[in-house]
Each structure stands twice: as C-alpha cells, then as structure tokens.
Amino acid sequence: MVLRFTPSGIYCPAGDFHIDPWRPVNRALITHGHADHARHGHARYLATDIAAPVMRHRLGAIKLDTLCYGEERRIGGATVSFHPAGHIPGSAQIRVEVKGEVWVVSGDYKTAPDRLSTPFEPVRCHSFITECTFGLPVFTWPTETQAAQEINDWWAANASAGRFSRLGAYSLGKAQRFLSLLDPSIAPILTHGAVEQTNDVLRAQGYDMPPTLHVTPDLKPADHPGALVLAPPAAFGSTWARRFRPASTGFASGWMRLRGVRRRRSVDRGFVMSDHADWDGLNAAISDTGAENVYTTHGYTDIFASWLKDQGYNARAVPTEFTGESEEGSIL
C-alpha cells in the first residue's frame, strides 16, 4: 500500500512521512490549517504556501516548508504534490505517487466554488481517501448567491428593527467566507479578536475583505447601531456577547439542514452553509478521481462506504481523529 493507516495517522512508508497526523511525528504533510488537521508537536511540516501564514499564526515557530499548488517534490521513494481542495484558503488534497501507483488524501474539501478559496480540482488516482462529513442525501447546499441574500436580508431586517445581528463563525475559514458575502452598506461589521487576528493574516496575503472593527473592551455598542457581530460560536455564551443587546443570533452550518439543530444550538436563525462538500459534491468528486478504491473518513463513514460499494467501488470506512464540521461547532 502507498499509504497506511497507523495509530499516529496516515503514513507513507516509501517517503517516511505522515499526512495530517494526530500524534507527534518527524515529518508531517498538512492539508490545511484547522486544528484537527494541523497540530502542535511535529518536527517538520510541509503545506501549501497559501496555508503557511495561518499555520505559523496558530502554531508558532514551527519548522515549515511549502509547495505551490501542482508543484512536485520527491520525498524518499514517493513523489508528492498539493492540489486545491476548495475548503478554506490554502487547503489542499495531497497526491502521493509511488512506483506509478497514485493515492490522494482529500483532507476537507468543497466542490462548489466560493469567493475566497482556490476552487477544488479533481485529481486522478487509484485510491482516494475522502472525508464524508455530510455523506447523506439530505445534505445539499444553496448557492453562494442564495446564501448571501439570506444573510444580508436577515441582517438588514435586524438593523431596521434596532437589533444587533450576532453571527457565529469559526475564526479560520467560515468567518472570512461570511465577510466575502456581507453587504457592508447595511451597518458596521464588528469582530471578535480571534476572527480579527485571522483576518489580519489573510489580508496581509492579499485577500480582499470589507472593513471590520475589532471589538475591544472600550468599544461602545451604542456607537454602532444595527452592527453585525462576527465571533466564534463559543463566544455567544459569554459576557462578551451580552454587551450587544437587543440582538438576533444566527449560525451557519451544513447541520442546519437537519430539523432540531437550530433549537439545540439556541439560535434565532440558521443558515445552511458549509465549507465541506454536500452529497452531490462528494459523489461527483469521487467519480472524477477515477479511483477504484475509496476510504471514507470523518463523517457518515460506514453509511457512505456502503453506498459506494453499491455503486461498484471497493470502499471501506477508516477510523481517524479528524472531526470535520461538528454539530456543536467546537473545534474548527
């Protein structure tokens, strides 16, 4: 096998490296900067040049080397390259070739283009290790245009009624995607420190986002009527968020496609939007690889592997410590 599933993570014996390992290793190839894929403790890291600034911001003074999309590197007996995954800025699928046999590790991916990430590109391979966070037919996503309309209409209605709009978003990826969709003419956009720090990193890389105002202790909410407040989901249970009243609280996730999730999260408005592939995206991506063997990770792994077997693939579920987009919104 070109890649093996080990207690430390996905391992390539020919190159003596791991991909997105969850335990400390000597050489780690990283698909993207989210915490369940890019972890502390590895001796050496390799990622895309686009992902590198955020990884350094999150992980500190790590020994990090980079590749551009499509650039090949020989590591031992393996040839590796990174290819756009469409998940967040710099996210990649990792292609590994050993003696003519090609495997691809998807990382997290989204096939529909957005206004922020490099669009997903299918990569031909013999074996494909795919996430399936939303591997059920119920999970289908609206277009970027539809999502933008729904969010801006909600915000505008709240502003007209004298309410703040508190919008929950992971500080890396989802928050910046929201910013790409927001209409700044409605009212000011206020940000939590974790979001604004990531914004600063991406703005320095040339990403265009509307103006935002970092919420500091001396900021007076009354000076910014109708503002949209963008913060990690966990912040909305704190005194930090209670400064902004009256308010309507919203959250966007693929899980909002399921009944009852909005009520369990105690939010006023749920938006169906995810940085992961929906059901159609997963199936299209797998078909486009031409892979004979498919390994399903983090998500509806057993159900999705069974579906793929019915479609003629040699498929099996593989346990990992990746979490994808959790319903609780606790880690990304």
In this prediction, the residues of the chain whose per-residue pLDDT falls under 50 are 327-332
Task: Write down the pLDDT at residue 2.
Answer: 98
Q: Which residue intervals of the chain bear CATH 3.60.15.10? A: 4-139+275-317
End-to-end CA distance of the chain: 31
- Of 3.40.50.150, 3.30.70.3000, 3.40.50.10890, 3.40.50.450, the CATH number of 144-271 is 3.40.50.10890
DSSP of 287-305: HHHT-SEEEEEEESHHHHH
Q: Which residue intervals of the chain bear CATH 3.40.50.10890? A: 144-271
Task: Write down the pLDDT at residue 315.
Answer: 98
Q: What pTM was computed for the model?
A: 0.96
Write the CB contacts of 157 (distance below 8 Å, at least 6 apart in sequence). Answer: none
- Contact at 8 Å (CB) between 56 and 70? no
Q: Which amino acid is at 83?
A: H
Tokens of 328: 């609780």
Residues making up the chain, counted from first to last: 332
pLDDT tens by residue, 190-202:
999 999 999 999 9
Would you tell me how many other CB atoms lie within 10 Å of the CB of residue 146?
13
What Rg value do the Cα atoms of the chain yield, rounded? Answer: 20
- Contact at 8 Å (CB) between 263 and 120? no
Tokens of 2: 């070109």
Identify the CA nearest to 201 among candidates 67, 85, 83, 50: 50
CATH code at 4-139+275-317: 3.60.15.10
Task: Write down the pLDDT at residue 326.
Answer: 57
The H or E element spanning position 101 is: strand 101-105
User: What 3-state class would DSSP assign to 279?
Assistant: helix
